[in-house]
Amino acid sequence: MPGRGRCPDCGSTELVEDSHYSQSQLVCSDCGCVVTEGVLTTTFSDEGNLREVTYSRSTGENEQVSRSQQRGLRRVRDLCRVLQLPPTFEDTAVAYYQQAYRHAGIRAARLQKKEVLVGCCVLITCRQHNWPLTMGAICTLLYADLDVFSSTYMQIVKLLGLDVPSLCLAELVKTYCSSLECSGAILAHCSLELLGSSDLPAS
């Protein structure tokens, strides 16, 4: 974007404003580098006062982390909290993101793919714990293209050598019926309807 300088990582002038999850920042649309400084994560003290938390204090790691990776890690954590996932899920998703980011092909990817990577790591974690979350739901939250998400998801699974089970439609419907407090008769009817397709994965 004219008048806003260049990306310190790749030299691109394609800088855009981004305000997902937190304060507005200036981000390179080519490589995903966060050009402006920002707080990685925040927490509330017992008195309710907001304070900054550095990356090393929040994760216990002291190694140098690029601003682009910091931004991704923050978004993984934020997405897990939006979905109200258990803390163990959040830790696993963060670990997958860090592993994926070590690969040169991921670090050099365009911003769109790095945005999708956040959701992929969260979805993989949910699938491994049989948590009823669909690919479509993640794409809706991230305003992501389903085709881009799907291809990136398969790439990450292969890249990290992960064993990720498919989400069963029958289990997904059962969970939704339970959350809506449907009667046993409705649940039984849904189970019968899906009996012939219970092994089909949900996207």
| Digit-coded pLDDT (tens) for 181-198 | 555 555 455 555 554 444
Confidence band of 12 (pLDDT split at 50, 70, 90)? confident
- Cβ-proximal residues to 162 (8 Å cutoff; 6+ apart), any chain: 96, 124, 128, 156
* Model pLDDT for residues 61-71, shown as the tens digit of each residue: 444 567 888 88
Identify the CA nearest to 74 among candidates 113, 40, 118.
40
Lowest mean pLDDT among 35-44, 108-117, 127-136, 162-171: 35-44
The mean pLDDT value of the chain amounts to 73
- Give the position of tokens 């996207």: 203
Highest-pLDDT range among 10-19, 41-50, 89-98: 89-98
Strand partners, 43: 51
All structural domains of the chain: 15-160 (1.10.472.10), 167-203 (no CATH)
Residue 122 has pLDDT above 90, yes or no: yes
Q: Per-residue pLDDT for 49 more than 70?
A: no
pTM of the model: 0.59
d(CA 34, CA 148): 22
Match 């790691």 to its residue by tokens: 61
